[in-house]
Each structure stands twice: as structure tokens, then as C-alpha cells.
């Protein structure tokens, strides 16, 4: 199930559209957020976002659309008039629909945005620039050189790299990567992140970023922080 943020969805027309989206794809978990939701909260909570332009107030939709994109969250802006209202639609994370449009079109746009930002997978591999994670062999290669990782370091890197741009709390990583087999609390995550960085980061690559007071995220090469 994919969690999708609904931003600016407050009037009857947007409510009908949201109901149509849910009927078309019951696997979507549509969650309402306010227009002033931070990009960190979006990144840690959802896999995609829909912005109802008319519900974003005088500030307009551009700010919240770009905040979602900056967080690595694919976003579809639904606008009332043909005009981008300051939105940079050339960004790969952003798709735009103009009213009148159907729920089917919006879902298609959302799928396109999510596919653009998904990690490249070839023969069960995850590829981000010079970093290649071979999921069959449990191997990591950086710039053609095999990186020696422990099992938990590999699992942690694979999990983060499979969700680029999304911020995970330390508690969330413990649940997802360590499950119930861990000791030392959240400090365990910090230690493994530090070891991972020492093995895969260099002058040209900084794959794992710290989101202060939240946790960590994987940033693919070339993605703005």
C-alpha cells in the first residue's frame, strides 16, 4: 500500500476527486495534510503527494509542490487554469494536471512521477550513479570496486537506497532493518550509518544524509539536498 499526501483538499470538488481516486485504486492510503506541512514530515510519511492548487491559499501551490519535490516525494499539482503558477514542471518529481481532469489522469500522472524517481533496478540490482547494489549476490560495488559490508550494513544501505529521498527515523530503521533482533537502541543505527559512510562516501559521493532531529535519508548522486 502506498501512502499519498493530500494537500489543499478541502472543498467539495477536491473531496469528490479524492473519493474517485480511492475507488480507482483501493491500495492507495490517502492522507490529508495541511498546506504548511514541512518537507521533512512529507518525506518520512508518504511515497507521493497530490496538491489541490485552489486549496493552497494566497501563497499558491508552488511552495508546497517544490517542498515535496525537494524532499524526494513525487508530486502531482492539480491546477484550475492553464498556467504553472511558479511551479517548475521540468523537475522529474513534478507532474501537473489542469482542470477539468479525471481521476484516471491524475493517477496516471502520479504513476509517471513515481516511476521517474524510483531507483533503477536491473536484474534485481539497485543502481544509483556509481553505486550498484546486487540484491541476488548481497554485494555492493562502488566505481567498479567491491565494498566490504557486514550483513546489517548491507541491509541498511539497501533499505535506504530503495527509498531515495525519504527520511526514516532511527526507530523506523530499527523496526524495518533489525526487526526484533537488535540491542543498544537507536545508537545502533547511528553506529552503522557512521560505518557505512566511511565505506561508501568520498569527495564526489555523499549518499546518506542526516536529517537533524528526525533520522536519515539516501540521496542519489545529482539530487539536490
**pLDDT digits 0-9 by tens, 149-181:** 999 999 999 999 988 888 888 888 888 888 765
pLDDT digits (tens, 9 = 90+) for 122-156: 568 888 888 889 988 899 998 888 999 999 999 99
pLDDT digits (tens, 9 = 90+) for 55-105: 777 777 888 888 888 877 888 889 887 777 788 878 888 888 888 888 889
191-204 exposure pattern, b = at least 16 Cβ within 10 A, e = fewer: ebbeebbeebeeee
pLDDT at 122: 59
Does domain 2-117 fall under CATH 3.40.1360.10? My reply is no
pLDDT at 52: 87
The CB density around residue 54, as the number of other CB atoms within 10 Å, is 19
pLDDT-based confidence at residue 201 (cuts at 50, 70, 90): confident
Please give the share of the chain, as a percent, with pLDDT higher than 70.
Answer: 90
More confident residue, 9 or 119: 9
Distances 153 to 6, 96, 102, 126, 141 between C-alpha atoms, Å: 35, 38, 44, 15, 14
CATH tag, 120-218: 1.10.10.10
φ, ψ of residue 126 in degrees (nearest 5): -110, 125
pLDDT-based confidence at residue 119 (cuts at 50, 70, 90): low
pLDDT digits (tens, 9 = 90+) for 187-199: 889 999 999 999 9
| Contact residues for 158 (Cβ-Cβ < 8 A; gap 6+) | 126, 133, 135
Distances 11 to 19, 35, 64, 182 between C-alpha atoms, Å: 12, 14, 18, 47
pLDDT-based confidence at residue 1 (cuts at 50, 70, 90): low
Domain residue limits, the chain: 2-117, 120-218
| HSE-CB for 104 with a 13 A CA cutoff | 0
pLDDT at 199: 92
Output Rg (C-alpha) for the chain, integer angstroms. 19
Q: Which of 13-17, 117-121, 129-133 has the lowest mean pLDDT?
A: 117-121
Amino acid at each position: 500500500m502506498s501512502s499519498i499526501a493530500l494537500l489543499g483538499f478541502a472543498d467539495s470538488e477536491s473531496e469528490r476527486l479524492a473519493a474517485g481516486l480511492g475507488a480507482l485504486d483501493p491500495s492507495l492510503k490517502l492522507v490529508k495534510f495541511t498546506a504548511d506541512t514541512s518537507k521533512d514530515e512529507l518525506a518520512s510519511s508518504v511515497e507521493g503527494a497530490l496538491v489541490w492548487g485552489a486549496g493552497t491559499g494566497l501563497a499558491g501551490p508552488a511552495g508546497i509542490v517544490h517542498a515535496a519535490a525537494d524532499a524526494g516525494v513525487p508530486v502531482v499539482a492539480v491546477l484550475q487554469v492553464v498556467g504553472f503558477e511558479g511551479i517548475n514542471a521540468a523537475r522529474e518529481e513534478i507532474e501537473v494536471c489542469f482542470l477539468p481532469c479525471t481521476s484516471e489522469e491524475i493517477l496516471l500522472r502520479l504513476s509517471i512521477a513515481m516511476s521517474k524517481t524510483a531507483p533503477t533496478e536491473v536484474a534485481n540490482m539497485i543502481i544509483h550513479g556509481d553505486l550498484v547494489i546486487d540484491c541476488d549476490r548481497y554485494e555492493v560495488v562502488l566505481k567498479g570496486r567491491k565494498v566490504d559490508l557486514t550483513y546489517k550494513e548491507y541491509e541498511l544501505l539497501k533499505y535506504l537506497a530503495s527509498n531515495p529521498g525519504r527520511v526514516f527515523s532511527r526507530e523506523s530503521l530499527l523496526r524495518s532493518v533489525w526487526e526484533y533482533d537488535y540491542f543498544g537502541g537507536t545508537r545502533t543505527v547511528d553506529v552503522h550509518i557512521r560505518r557505512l559512510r566511511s565505506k561508501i562516501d568520498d569527495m564526489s559521493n555523499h549518499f546518506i544524509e542526516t536529517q537533524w532531529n528526525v533520522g536519515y535519508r539516501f540521496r542519489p548522486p545529482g539530487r539536490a539536498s
